[in-house]
Amino acid sequence: MFSLRDFDFYFVYRIFAILITTAGFWMIFKKCGKKGWRALIPGFRYYKLAECVDVEKEGVICMLLELVEVVLTIASAVKGRGSGYYGYLALFNLVLLLTELLYRLRIFSGVCRVFGRNRKWLLLWGPVTWAGALIFGFGKHFQPVNLGYNPDNDMVAGTNPAKIYFDSHINSVSPEGLTVILKDRIVRDMTKKRYLLKDIYFTIPPRSLVLLLGGSGAGKTTLINAILGYEKANASIYLNGVNIYDNYEQMKYRIGFVPQQDLLRGHDTVYNTLQDAAKLRMPANTTSSGRKSRIADVMGVLGLSEGSTGLVSKKSGGMRKRISIGTELISDPELFILDEPDSGLDGVIARELFEKLRDIAHQGSIVLAITHTPDRVAELFDQVIVLARDSGRVGRLVFSGKPSEAKEFFGKNSMEEIVMAINKKSEGGEGRADEFIEKYSRLMNERSSSPEKEADSHE
């Protein structure tokens, strides 16, 4: 057992600091619209304070550190100075305090921001936490002025999607083409749930060259990864009537993907590169003559026949991109996805490349491509899918249809103007993403209630 004389000045001060800090936190929580009793729970109070100022990760770490600190403080008091473990406990406690201080300062910086106070107040909050809590909690002139959701804060991006009702207009799965029914794509950041994508519904008929359009951060790559099954979403993705997720081992061989960066061996010849791809991607029972025939077909479609014995490293950027496309096309995929295939290419070469992709699409595949210079080849696309970040910074569907219909829908003359219309004002855009998301939702609801009109729009 221990008596009061076992407590020295440090432990008395610690108890005093905990009590005053608790009272200060109680009042801060009430000012922020939270329940004050949460300040009574050691550790948990830092988590709730961090939650008030949108730095939740730091709050979780502080919560765990403070709980350990409380245990060590009690253990040190029980053992007393005479214990052989006292020195170790005190040293470990000091290390925890210094570590916790770093994370507390991040939380207190958020408190200063919410209360509209200069960060110089951290000089008080840091070394004397109870004094900062007391002043901010009980000071009449200390009131939260920046409280609430701030979508420009990266810590809360995607946690609060814009309240836009979107009723899926897809009532059945098409037996042909690509059908995407994506409710949401969510990731977890500590205890926060972040939406990367929400309400993405569209169909793409066979033999279509499709442009995937949207500003930076709109979710284009995330959507592609969801369709590929690389990063699955809360979705049903159908390719020619077959669910990709439910039949992934079978379907992954029917999808081709060409990333932005070429992944080729420079010391191989063009023919050997395609030959290796054929051995890897074509069915194992394919005959040697069957592989040779397919290689010849792909080289003919992409214009690779001439110079097929030359080294890949000696080819131009446009030619290397064709070779990359050929390595995926060799398996004759039903869905072909390309991420900025024209990156680094001049206008003439880029146009030739997209003309090749249009030919591939019209021969039977669905070709879905991202490009940041769409206007130079816009008329080659059969369909355009537009994504944008809503006011909560969540990727949403803004439009799906013909390029000419997209221009009419947005009231713009070019694809670039469409992107600028839905980009945030801070990015030089018009900041009208929510407006067009709602407009498209209403349009889809009207079409779903008028089947004949919907049918006419796809003719």
> What is the structure's pLDDT at 85?
60
pLDDT band at 260 (very low <50, low <70, confident <90, very high): confident
pLDDT digits (tens, 9 = 90+) for 4-55: 454 566 677 778 888 898 899 999 988 888 888 888 887 788 888 888 887 8
Q: Confirm if 355 and 386 have CB atoms less than 8 A apart.
A: no
Residues 53-101 have pLDDT tens digits of 878 788 888 888 877 877 776 766 665 555 556 566 667 777 777 888 8
Q: How far is CA 392 from CA 7, 9, 448, in A?
A: 52, 50, 27
137-141, 339-343, 407-411: which has the minimum mean pLDDT? 339-343
Q: For residue 180, give both structure tokens.
A: 């995407």
Which run of H or E residues covers position 335? strand 335-339
pLDDT attached to residue 190: 59
Q: Is 439 exposed, middle or buried (0-12, 13-18, 19+ CB in 10 A)?
A: middle
Angle, CA of 190, 194 and 196, to the nearest 5°:
140
- Neighbour count for residue 127 (Cβ, 10 Å): 10
Strand 242-243 relative to strand 192-204: parallel, antiparallel, unpaired? unpaired
Q: Which domains does the chain have, with CATH numbers?
A: 4-147 (no CATH), 178-457 (3.40.50.300)
- Given the DSSP bridges, would you call strands 242-243 and 234-239 parallel, antiparallel or unpaired? antiparallel
DSSP three-state, residue 336? strand
pLDDT band at 205 (very low <50, low <70, confident <90, very high): very high
Share of the chain above pLDDT 90, in %: 32
Terminal Cα-to-Cα distance of the chain (whole angstroms): 87
Average pLDDT of the chain, as a whole number: 84
Residue 2 — very low, low, confident or very high, per pLDDT cuts 50/70/90?
very low
Q: Are strands 383-389 and 178-189 parallel, antiparallel or unpaired?
A: unpaired
To the nearest 10°, report the CA torsion of 159, 163, 168, 169: -140
**C-alpha to C-alpha distance for 413 and 219, rounded to whole angstroms:** 24
The length of the chain, given as a count of residues: 459
CA distance 209 to 269: 29
User: Does 328 score more than 50 pLDDT?
Assistant: yes
Mean pLDDT within 352-368? 91
DSSP state string for 373-429: -GGGTGGG-SEEEEEEE-TTS-EEEEEEE-HHHHHHHHT-SSHHHHHHHHS-GGGTS
53: which DSSP letter? T
> Which residue in 385, 388, 403, 383 sits closest to 437, CA to CA?
388
Q: How high is the pLDDT of residue 173?
A: 85
Task: Kindly state the DSSP code that residue 334 receives in the 8-state scheme.
Answer: S
Res. 403: pLDDT tops 50: yes
pLDDT in the model for residue 240: 94
Closest listed residue to residue 323, CA positions, set 246, 259, 270: 270
Among 119-128, 158-167, 203-212, 254-263, top mean pLDDT goes to 203-212
Asked if residues 401 and 384 have their Cβ atoms less than 8 Å apart, the reply is yes
How distant, in Å, are the alpha carbons of 32, 105, 139, 150 from that of 144?
A: 7, 18, 11, 14
Question: Is 138 within 8 Å of 27 (Cβ atoms)?
Answer: yes
Q: How confident is the model at residue 458 (pLDDT cuts 50, 70, 90)?
A: very low
The per-residue pLDDT for 325 is 87
Can you tell me the distance from the alpha carbon of 405 to that of 400, in angstroms, rounded to the nearest whole number? 9
pLDDT tens track for 432-456: 999 999 999 888 887 766 655 444 4
Q: Which of 148-157, 281-290, 411-420 has the lowest mean pLDDT?
A: 148-157
302, containing H or E segment: helix 288-302
pLDDT (tens digit per residue) in 213-248? 998 889 999 999 999 998 999 999 999 999 999 999
